[in-house]
Structure 1
């Protein structure tokens, strides 16, 4: 008996349904289009973005979680908020649910009540509670429900990027000396660069660019702000094969916008004078102009003009007055247009191969062929009368019968005077 192949042993199941490939990186133009579709109010939502990421960082420190968990939670927080406005979900609830999801992904398991209790104790220092308190029961159920919604939003894509690990290796390569002066410079440089990698997650840069672009931008910007090892940072940037120059400058300018506009809400921005920050920003903009680069990588002016503003930004309700309360166990859902199963695939080539293979079982094939059919010839001969015995009677009375149709009045035939005759002189 011949051995069975793999294709014969694998059973053919139901149709695969709708396959979705989650986008790991979102360009600035697509990001703005998504924000316009949810009615993004820049002034209000930027404030909520900073507060949400800061809340994640504070709870992380209170629970002594690693930075990997913070990085993952901040990424989930951004991806959720670019799809749903704050008028639907409270930004604090989303931040805590993102941290709860990230704890499971990064294997730093914490219960939802532990996270809610830590957030409550940070918010109310004089009213410390334990995770076993009954006040967290309803909030815990809501957090678990929101966690499922976050998983659907990120497309079950658990691939993460951790710039801190690569950043430390690059700094060690930039400062190889073991003398006392090199150690002091390396320590100061590492402290500023590491804190800058935390401030970076208060922007949308981590969901727009790869880890290499983030690390190179942090190194170059730290060197410019400290005015140390600038040539080394530029040399590393020129040798980097996986990050283009436009991406690096875009991340640097995103950070500079954060430091100049929200200086007190960051760790590194408050360490430098505002004039120094403005000078560095002008210098970076000059390099972008000299290199004939766009402010945003892969920006299309024609696409921006052609894309209509479907849902312009309108002010929404405050998260505090939002319809989803902290104790609610129901979560608003966005239904997909079709009812088929939604599957998330990470390899586009594998998804295409699977679709082509499944189509072979569900495509309808038709074959055209000609068939000769004999049709009966119609009989066009005059038909005989149904009652031939009455034909003489019909011929005799043919001239005396008149059919005037369905006129509303009689036309005054023989023996029937016209009753309207003589009315012409009525008036």
Structure 2
């Protein structure tokens, strides 16, 4: 879509401008849902129900994990942006799976997905196919929800997945195959939470590996393994004889494996926050996860104690929502003002990436993009409101920070001239 111009072309200028931001931080999530009708616990239970449905339908249709994970991320996003949506959450889940199948190029018709979900839900009845008139009303609802999903993600169809990072990190740190398999399941469980919106793929992969390794007695994730320098910047091994939190759990006794987080474009605080989001799921909904019943609540409590102690050594408060890593907090805004977290470019519009010159098949604007943890809280609100859309005309969606700045410059000039 062309930018808002400063000439007399007559092109309508938007009053609401929304830039695609694929990641959110905790403050943005809080601002987006201040008047949530459901409690956090009930929201989590609803997400688990949708996850189970998406997983069952995907098993029948043969969707890969990337489509399932994208579906859950879309579900969480649309539930945040439209918390008072009138549709049943099962319809929102099916619409998310339908949209994800387009995003990931694993196309299935909406009616096919509905028919499989119906046959799973009513397994005692005669099975139906996609031509059944029973599905027509639900089909219309799902198409309407798809439009809201596309608006929620600002029509940005690019997706990033944790699976390649998980395999890469496992090889880099010589993690055994059983631990890698456990981390794989932990990362899938994480999509039942908002961690899939808050964490970059490398953060989610590292957090899953750290939890899996510590469940098996390996202290993966320390920043520095040396204990000769009693510095606050050193994650020294925990003394098993020290007095610990409730349960008196002994720490992992295996080798300490240091991680240089800067190498992976993240930091310990961001990965720690993701770990806590995942551990909260196992604490509150242990028996509704893949990994929880296999390990028990005590094991996850021990992991939480270890991570909290190492965070304290680093001067980071547990569950600090990324604000303890030297990054400024997000600006206070009215709920609904945010786009969606991390821009693909930095605050100056400079994209972190490199052209795929080896193949020569991509245009310059299709560069590989690495999102850094610091990008996740840059960019603020411009004063637009979701509820202003019907009052002030068009909404413009954009992917580029540079384009966003051009749009706002033209809009502000139009306001000065009294055209808006």
| Shared fold (TM-score, shorter chain, > 0.5) | yes
Q: Is it true that 1:143 corresponds to 2:133 in the alignment?
A: no
By how many angstroms is 1:105 displaced?
1.4
Q: CA deviation at 1:354?
A: 4.1
Question: In 1, distance between residues paired with 2:84 and 2:51?
Answer: 14
Deviation, 1:281, is 1.3
> Partner of 2:36 in structure 1?
38
The match for 1:297 among 318, 321, 324 is: 321
From the superposition, tell whether residues 169 and 254 of structure 1 become closer, same or farther in structure 2 (CA, over 3 Å). same
For 1:37, what is the secondary structure of its paired residue? coil
**2:79/2:85 contact within 8 Å kept:** no
**Counterpart check, 1:166 vs 2:219:** no
1:47 to 45, 50, 59: 45
Choose the corresponding residue for 2:406, options 353, 357, 362: 353
1:134 aligns with 2:133: yes
**Matched residue, 2:199:** 209
Offset of residue 278 of structure 1: 1.3
Map 1:2-401 → 2, pairs under 5 A: 12=9, 14-18=11-15, 19-85=17-83, 88-127=86-125, 128-175=127-174, 186-228=176-218, 230=220, 234-238=257-261, 240-294=263-317, 295-299=319-323, 336=389, 338-356=391-409, 364=417
Separation (CA, whole Å) in 1 of partners of 2:262 and 2:115 = 47
The offset of 1:272, in angstroms, is 0.6
TM-score of the two chains, using structure 1 as the length reference: 0.68
Q: Structure 1 residue 71: deviation in Å? A: 1.5
CA contact (8 A) 1:219 1:233 kept: no
TM-fit CA distance, 1:44: 1.8
Residues 237 and 272 of structure 1: CA distance in aligned 2, closer, same or farther (over 3 Å): farther
Shift of 1:285: 1.6
Q: Kindly state the Cα deviation for residue 15 of structure 1 after the two structures are TM-superposed.
A: 3.8
Mapped partners of 1:357, 1:261: distance in 2: 49
State the alpha-carbon separation in 1 of the partners of residues 262 and 18 from structure 2. 35
Q: How many residues align?
A: 323
Q: CA deviation at 1:358?
A: 6.8
Provide the rounded CA distance (Å) in 1 between the counterparts of 2:334 and 2:11: 39
Give the whole-Å Cα distance in 2 for the aligned partners of 1:222 and 1:159.
29
Q: Secondary structure at the match of 2:170?
A: helix
RMSD: 3.1
- Mapped to 2, the partners of 1:220 and 1:82 lie a distance apart of 28
Kindly state the Cα deviation for residue 111 of structure 1 after the two structures are TM-superposed. Answer: 0.8
User: Is the Cα contact below 8 Å between 1:196 and 1:268 reproduced in 2?
Assistant: yes
Which residue pairs with 1:413 in the alignment? none
Larger radius of gyration: 1
Deviates more, 1:125-134 or 1:356-365: 356-365
Supply the distance in 1 between the matched residues of 2:334 and 2:150 (Cα, whole angstroms).
30
**Residues 279/298 of structure 1: CA separation in 2 closer, same or farther (3 Å cut):** closer
Are the equivalent residues in 2 in contact too, given 1:15–1:358 (CA < 8 A)?
no
- Contact 1:45 1:86 survives alignment (8 Å): no
- Structure 2, unaligned runs of 5 or more: 1-6, 222-254, 336-385
* C-alpha distance 134-233 of structure 1, shift in aligned 2 (>3 A): farther
TM normalised by structure 2 equals 0.69
Tell me whether 81-90 or 268-277 shows the greater mean CA deviation: 81-90
Q: CA deviation at 1:226?
A: 1.4
Deviations 1:3-38 (A, max 9, x none): xxxxxxx99451432321133221112212322233
- CA distance in 1: counterparts of 2:178 and 2:65, whole angstroms: 19
Query: What is the CA-CA distance between 1:88 and the residue it aligns to?
Result: 2.4
* Structure with a larger share of its residues in helix: 1
> Once the 2 structures are TM-superposed, how far is the Cα of residue 156 of structure 1 from its aligned partner?
1.1
How far the C-alpha of 1:364 sits from its partner, in A, is: 4.0
Could you say what secondary structure the match of 2:33 adopts? helix
Partner residue in 1 for 2:230? none
